[in-house]
Amino acid sequence: MSFAHRFDNERAAVTTPAAATATTSAATDVNGGRPLGGPKGVLELSCDFEGGNVGSAKMISENEYELSLRADTNNPKYRLWFYFCIRNSKPGQRVLFHVVNFSKSKSLYRDGMSPTVRCTSQPKWERLNPKNVFYYKSQKKDNKNQYVLSFVFNFDRAEPYYFCYSYPFSYSHQQMLLADIDRRRLPFVQRDLLCRSVQHRRCDVITV
């Protein structure tokens, strides 16, 4: 199998095409909002975990899905980060994903970078084969000046898979590392609170 954290990203879940805005809920079937537990091969997509982000999703066919990103908090013009989970795939199912509303015209995806992926039985993050990753300007009139990331993936196991813009580094992990520095009481390191985010999370300043 070949396979940036957002500080102000509250829990989010994928909405169905009929819904207009992202909601906070558990995993949602992207095929017309039907309840979970649908036919095998109808993917269930969610981002209800720390750092997760997708705005909406649409099933084109069993082998093709179109996703859009939720914009950054208080910055609706900036759409870059994605991190989501796929369930209910069939072993051997080959799927083409389109993430259709990136705001950046220039991307490292054009220079060989590729999204990361992991699954339950292989928890180590790996990059997708860059030969299966494409980044280009949208040709749709209603998506003017937006960019599309398309990638192909073969699901070789019937278990959850996680896809991410790049290697995730969570806020919780960051705070754990900073707390470890505090416990050591190092004389040459000082940690101060600069401010808090919209969701009241710490924004720290480290002075060495």
For a pLDDT cut of 90, what percent of the chain falls above it? 73
C-alpha–C-alpha distance, residues 168 and 124, integer Å: 12
Average pLDDT over residues 45-58: 94
pLDDT reading at 7 higher than 50: no
Residue 137 pLDDT: 94
pLDDT reading at 139 higher than 60: yes
C-alpha–C-alpha distance, residues 4 and 113, integer Å: 14
For a pLDDT cut of 70, what percent of the chain falls above it? 82
Average pLDDT over residues 83-103: 96
Which strand (E) or helix (H) includes residue 85?
A: strand 83-87
Bridge-partner residues for 28, per DSSP? Answer: 45
C-alpha–C-alpha distance, residues 14 and 116, integer Å: 19
Residue 21 pLDDT: 30
Phi-psi region of 32 (alpha: psi -120 to 50; beta: other; left: phi over 0): left
Residue showing tokens 């070949």:
2
Residue 179 pLDDT: 95
User: Lowest-confidence range among 11-25, 73-87, 131-145, 168-182?
Assistant: 11-25
Instruction: Write the pLDDT tens digit of every residue in 187-198.
Output: 999 999 999 998
Beta carbons within 8 Å of 193's beta carbon, 6+ residues apart = 202, 203, 204, 205
Beta carbons within 8 Å of 141's beta carbon, 6+ residues apart = none
Which strand (E) or helix (H) includes residue 163?
A: strand 161-164
Cα 62 to its chain centre, rounded Å, is 21
Closest residue by Cα to residue 110 from 135, 88, 132: 135
Confidence band (pLDDT; 50, 70, 90) for 18? very low
Average pLDDT over residues 61-82: 93
Closest residue by Cα to residue 42 from 57, 23, 26, 61: 61
In a 3-state reduction of DSSP, which class is residue 151?
strand
C-alpha–C-alpha distance, residues 190 and 208, integer Å: 7
pLDDT reading at 76 higher than 80: yes
pLDDT reading at 120 higher than 50: yes
pLDDT reading at 98 higher than 60: yes
Beta carbons within 8 Å of 108's beta carbon, 6+ residues apart = none
The residue among 52 and 20 whose pLDDT is bigger is 52
Residue showing tokens 């537990």:
37
pLDDT reading at 13 higher than 80: no
In a 3-state reduction of DSSP, which class is residue 176?
helix
